[in-house]
Structure 1
């Protein structure tokens, strides 16, 4: 079977590699995650909707957020223009008064986000829910649901007509087993933004599923992606893993279990090794600022991305077998070996040792490798190969004392 070629816009999306997800809305004022309206039985809808009166967005700065994404090595950003609570961060042009211009903010926050992204060279994407608790889309009658889909399409048309987007990210079709009129929805996208990337989150349990022919990327929510088997597909689809920095999409003020810069580096490298993008979420504060820890962690991981930018943005997985989590990527005819779980060299009294050094064998590379070196130090690596180049062994040295790049990258001259 043949594998279809990606369209130029999908190929460009894959080269963006790494993006920032932002879940922010009225729920951020409560600090208990983005699903609190649905999960807290004591929270009355009318009281929740009253949070619009205190939603000032006084610390929200679209360009500052885009600047942070840029420093982190991210190439695109996705903002929740409307989440499941039904509150919109954009000017809905009179479709509803449950939006940011009619809140204490008094501003079109999506406009500020999109303009800020463009100013910093970050591609803006917008998340838009299809599940709407404000309108009971998940449990209304069939007739009411059809009216709701009309409202949804009208809302989307506002977004698509008013903002210059790199893509749109849908979420919520899994909430109801009914006719979402997807052909109409995607026709709206193609009418207004023919080059936009279309993502429709299939959710936990349906990872990697292609839900419609117009979808450009499959999703892997909160777990490492599987390599996508594109043989026999009618069109090439990309893949993207989305993940939270802690256990919540919206800010969780009592959630202390955050990912480290090392966690971020490992997951990004794993995604790229499997041919997928990595969309990492942050939950802004009630006022719209990125919290200090997330800011610091993203900047620190961004220094690693800068050191390995060629392989992260342009690298494509090579079909071969590697030990453990290791992988081989190819970028512009250059080969790179990604080595996980290496230990640090040094005196036994000051070094935490492991079993991470020594020979690592690649099976099925089938290319003659003449020279190998670590990208971070230019140190050479001894290479042994079988006569038919089916087996390639790299004698992986440990990190020099004082360094640890979490995933160490070697360039192979083949």
Structure 2
């Protein structure tokens, strides 16, 4: 059984157990304790590796490689199709020209400590770097090929070594992206990137994975990408990771249901709650994972503001849906994260500072998604992220609230908000204007850990629990 299925069954068992207890006939001796509610926070997985990964919550993805020096242009012509990190294939760049660019790659602005600090200040707990993209150019000091950043560039350093060291020095986790396909060994097919993997490639892949998993300390995740391996090849790659680092989580793009967590498609933020371990990978510029300077990559102040708001809301949505959010930046070829992307990350950090408990260490809830937004729980409080503020103010409802409410405030302030109970619904009256320009957060302080009572249930005066027909 995969780690993902174990987690799904564990959560299902929690809910099913409550439902079974509620619906069981009364026993004459001893009498069962009436059940009227149960904990509203969805717990961490019972699998230690999954739980440790779930605690990471938010990471910074970094697409950086030889492709970064092009910025989406070749010989003055703009790449008009595909992601810029795949420019070698889309623009038919000869390997000799690609190497010529490598020979000019000084990365004089690269600062591993600054990258890690940028991630940490945003509230991210780990960083994931592209060790090798589809172009096959290795961004580490490898003995498997001389087509690598140390052998072919005047930069001549190992960024994976520097980043892994710098991030851990700052208390950050670290992970690596690894492309299964390799255009030094395969004919590019960038429309789908689903090249079959010949068995002759597997020793090369395993040798590179072995280096990555033995030279740079603990990796929190290994993010495979693309290709069309067989089930046996997928199992072999996942097993290589788990044998060398049993705690490292493998994403679903190792394919054939051999991964530990699901990632879905690029730039996708599921709006429904998922039980198995999952991650949403999103790029600040959705059409550019590697660095690009295309006109469509709007770097205006207005765009920075809107993207910051979008990413904050996506982070909260993913957290409230039991997921892990991996937000991508694409540094320039010189190694600097441009001011726009750094500004978006800083904006996320500012929101996290205003609402330090809404995401950090918070858990998703069993209250469900609402038309007005989502909720998380930390300690004895529910945090409501109100993404759809009532026009001119008004009421929002949180169904299923079974706890005694101590107070309701605008998060980060002492400002009290009016509230009342309407059956199982907590009704809160919001002021006319949103209380935060990016994502308003309302804190519901409860007496003890927040509890939930499902819709259609009721508790009588003598504390008997009942479920209405059709519920």
Is the structural similarity TM-score above 0.5? Answer: yes
- Who is 1:346 aligned against? none
Residues 166 and 365 (structure 1), Cα distance of their counterparts in 2 relative to 1, 3 Å cut: farther
For structure 1, the residue ranges without an aligned partner over 5 or more in a row are 203-209, 231-236, 343-353
More displaced stretch, 193-202 vs 98-107: 193-202
Aligned residue pair count: 382
TM-score of the superposition, structure 2-length normalised?
0.75
**Is 2:441 the partner of 1:409?**
yes
Moved more, 390-399 or 147-156: 390-399
CA deviations on 1:250-301 (whole Å, 9 max, x unpaired) are 0111243355321221111111121112111111011111001111221122
1:98 paired residue number = 147
Q: How does 1:185-334 map to 2 (within 5 A)?
A: 185-201=237-253, 211-227=256-272, 229-230=274-275, 237-246=276-285, 247-254=287-294, 255-257=296-298, 260-321=307-368, 323-334=370-381
Partner Cα distance (1:144, 1:311) in 2: 43
**Displacement after TM superposition at 1:405 (Å):** 3.9
Q: Please say if residues 252 and 258 of structure 2, whose CA atoms lie closer than 8 Å, have aligned partners that are also in contact.
A: no
Asked if structure 1 preserves the Cα contact closer than 8 Å seen for 2:359 and 2:376, the reply is no
Q: Match of 2:427?
A: 393
1:324-354 superposed Cα distances (whole Å, 9 cap, x missing partner): 2511211124222211143xxxxxxxxxxx7
- CA deviation after TM superposition for structure 1 residue 188, in Å: 1.8
TM-score, normalising length from structure 1?
0.85
Among residues 66, 70, 73, which one is paired with 1:30 in the alignment?
Answer: 70
**1:365 equivalenced with 2:401 (yes/no):** yes
1:124 is aligned to: 174
Deviation at 1:15?
A: 2.1
Q: Which structure has the larger Rg?
A: 2
The correspondence for 1:7, drawn from 31, 40, 47, is: 47
User: How far 1:214 moved relative to its partner?
Assistant: 4.6
Indicate whether 1:377 and 2:413 are aligned.
yes
1:88 match: secondary structure: coil
Q: Given that residues 179 and 224 in structure 2 are in contact (C-alpha distance below 8 angstroms), is that contact kept between their aligned partners in structure 1?
A: yes
1:316 touches 1:331 (CA, 8 Å); kept in 2?
yes
Q: 5+ unaligned residues in a row in structure 2: which ranges?
A: 1-7, 12-44, 73-83, 447-471
Q: Give me the whole-angstrom Cα distance separating, in 2, the residues matched to 1:179 and 1:122.
A: 33
- Matched residues in 1 for 2:134 and 2:232: separation? 16
SS of residue matched to 2:85: coil
1:74-102, CA deviations, whole angstroms, 9 ceiling, x for partnerless residues? 11110001111100111112x10001110
RMSD: 2.5
